[in-house]
Amino acid sequence: MPMNSGWFGTSILKRNASAIAVFILLFAAWDAICRLVKVPDWLLPAPSRICEEVWKQRSLIPPHLFATAYEVVLGFILALVLGVLIAIIIVLSPTARKIVYPILIFLQSVPKVALAPILLLWVGYGLESKVLLAGITAFFPIIINSSTGMQSVPEEMLELTRSLHSPSLKVFWKVRLPNAMPYLFGGMKVAVPLSLIGAVVGEFVGSDQGLGYMILTYSSTMNTSLVFGAMFILAILGMVLFYLVVVAERVLCPWYSAKIE
Amino acid sequence: MTVCLEFSNLSMEYQLQSGKTLRAVSDIDIQIKKGEFVTLLGPSGCGKSTLLKIASVVQRPTRGELRLNGRPLIEPTPEIGMVFQKPILLPWRNVIDNVLLPIEMMGKQVSKSRRTAEELLALVGLKGFERSMPNELSGGMQQRVSICRALIYEPAVLLMDEPFAALDAMTREELGMELLRIWSEHMKSVLFVTHSIQEGVLLADRVIVLSARPGRVAADITIDLPRPRTFEMVSTPEYGRYAAQIRQLITGRKEGPHAYE
């Protein structure tokens, strides 16, 4: 598929028209039910009430949104750098793989929520603990996917490079790493929502800002509308980051995006 | 003519998981002369691929020796070029960069070989496709690119492992004739594995027929059809005799020349 068919503006609406229509319909139904059955706002607010409340508190939300977005993005970058580095080590050294793999699986098996209080204890209530938590929650799929990608070079291609006496570092840069790119992006797509979870969990356990903190505070004061509002903003943040990864994938691996179109 | 590639009293055994040994090929003596086109035919499982793996020094034979220009061949070398069943192009590189990959991998100066790459591509009818990406090409075109990639570093011997097997019949016939044209200009020794008797006879100076497992040389038939070869030769009585003889060797039955066409 050529890259020129617009990514922005009307075409994105047109392409997702049916999904958007279903969304609107669902929200309308939700709104109608809440009004007809007279569900109290503290239990399940109607979408219109959520919008109203978010609009009323609009000056309050951006600092929280930016705080969370900052944590998520930094945590994601941490996961990406750490994940790819560990993947490279795993792929290049079988010994390292034997040592690192069990540790990774152990770490992955620890519920990150359980890790949160300890991390807060160690690095404090500030930004660092949230970034760390987001990073740790998200880096597993990046390691798994990028190491798989580096290892899934066709055997014939490796035979060819061997017969040419290519240095393994060159094979790594010119063959293994680019080969891993589509896999890496697959891992990143899984990692985006995970880093969001990590950051919010961190905020739940201890913080004074962020959308997670907002959810916690307003649910304790029974302002359910704002809790829902924060939740939707979180979801939108996740979607935006997800689509940023998709756009990056299209730019960096056009050969692959063309195949899945 | 001087001998180029030589299999000398060569056997290959595999240790199976059950503890039994499987003899894939046995007592193979094949000499391929400089500039000779040899095809390797045989029933499936007769060890054709094993022989190619040994020739490309991916595997070492259990017994016997492989020699190139009189010297024992014990490690992969750029003197042996490979064309695989699938094109195995790097999807992120355009056509000419795929052709130039071996040059890059060998650490040679790429700019010096660019002209050669363009000439090779023109030779296989891909002039104007130098900047195309592999996924924009048909299977036949991709296989042409992979042939250019094998020729760019001028190996003494070209190993071809059923290179046209994945293509449709028309493209296959066309590419076979094209390969002969390239071969007549570049005068490489070619060892070509195929399942098709027609392809085997039409392309070759010599057809080597292997017996069923363990593969032994059942017959070494010199094909005395005039060059340049054409498709119409399929209807000559000479071709018919060769095809019938080979078919009988492979299936062990006497049939008309076209019984399995």
What pLDDT, in 10s, does the model give residues A7-48? 555 677 788 889 889 999 999 999 999 889 888 888 899 999
Strand partners, B71: B68
| Same domain membership, residue B173 and residue B74 | yes
Residue B54 tokens, joined: 């040994």
For residue B228, is the peptide bond before it cis, meaning its omega torsion is within 30 degrees of 0?
Answer: yes
| Same domain membership, residue B243 and residue B123 | no
Output the domain CATH number for residue A108: 1.10.3720.10
Give me the number of domains chain B comprises: 2
The residue behind tokens 């669902």 is A26
3-state DSSP assignment of residue A237: helix
Asked whether residue A147 is domain-assigned, the answer is: yes
Examine the pLDDT at A256 and tell me if it is beyond 50: yes
Asked whether residue A128 is domain-assigned, the answer is: yes
Asked whether residue A139 is domain-assigned, the answer is: yes
| Same domain membership, residue B110 and residue B138 | yes
The one-letter amino acid code at A58 reads: R
Examine the pLDDT at A240 and tell me if it is beyond 60: yes
Distance of alpha carbon A46 from alpha carbon A229, whole angstroms: 11
How close B227 gets to chain A, by Cα (Å)?
Answer: 31
Distance of alpha carbon B210 from alpha carbon A199, whole angstroms: 65
Asked whether residue B136 is domain-assigned, the answer is: yes
For residue A45, is the peptide bond before it cis, meaning its omega torsion is within 30 degrees of 0?
Answer: no
How close B57 gets to chain A, by Cα (Å)?
Answer: 8
Give me the number of domains chain A comprises: 1
Asked whether residue A12 is domain-assigned, the answer is: no
Q: Which residues from B are below 8 Å from A174, CB to CB?
A: 101, 104-105
> CA angle at residue B10 from B4 to B14, to 5 degrees?
130
Residue B251 tokens, joined: 């299936």
B217 dihedral zone (left: phi>0; alpha: psi -120 to 50; beta): beta
Whole-structure pTM value: 0.84
The residue behind tokens 């050294």 is A93
Mean pLDDT taken over chain B: 88
| Same domain membership, residue B197 and residue B139 | no
Q: Which domain, by its residues, includes B125? A: 91-154
| Same domain membership, residue B67 and residue B43 | yes
Q: Do B106 and A259 touch (CB under 8 A)?
A: no
- Tell me which of A150, A156, A163 to substitute to probe the interface with B (most B C-beta atoms closer than 10 Å): A163
Q: Do A181 and B92 touch (CB under 8 A)?
A: yes
- What pLDDT digit, counting tens, does each position of B22-77 carry? 888 889 999 999 999 999 998 877 888 888 889 998 888 999 999 999 899 988 99
Q: So what's the pLDDT on residue B58?
A: 86
End position of a domain, from candidates B112, B132, B154: B154
Asked whether residue B72 is domain-assigned, the answer is: yes
Q: Which domain, by its residues, includes A82? A: 57-260
Asked whether residue B235 is domain-assigned, the answer is: yes
Q: So what's the pLDDT on residue B258?
A: 47
Q: So what's the pLDDT on residue A4?
A: 47
End position of a domain, from candidates B154, B169, B201: B154
- What pLDDT digit, counting tens, does each position of A186-218 carry? 999 999 999 999 999 999 998 899 999 999 999
Distance of alpha carbon B117 from alpha carbon B152, whole angstroms: 6
Distance of alpha carbon A159 from alpha carbon B82, whole angstroms: 9
Provide the ipTM: 0.86
- What pLDDT digit, counting tens, does each position of A61-86 carry? 999 999 999 999 999 999 999 999 99
3-state DSSP assignment of residue B208: strand
Q: Which residues from B are below 8 Å from A161, CB to CB?
A: 105
Q: So what's the pLDDT on residue A8?
A: 55
| Same domain membership, residue B227 and residue B179 | yes
Count of alpha carbons within 13 angstroms of residue B33, beta-carbon side: 7
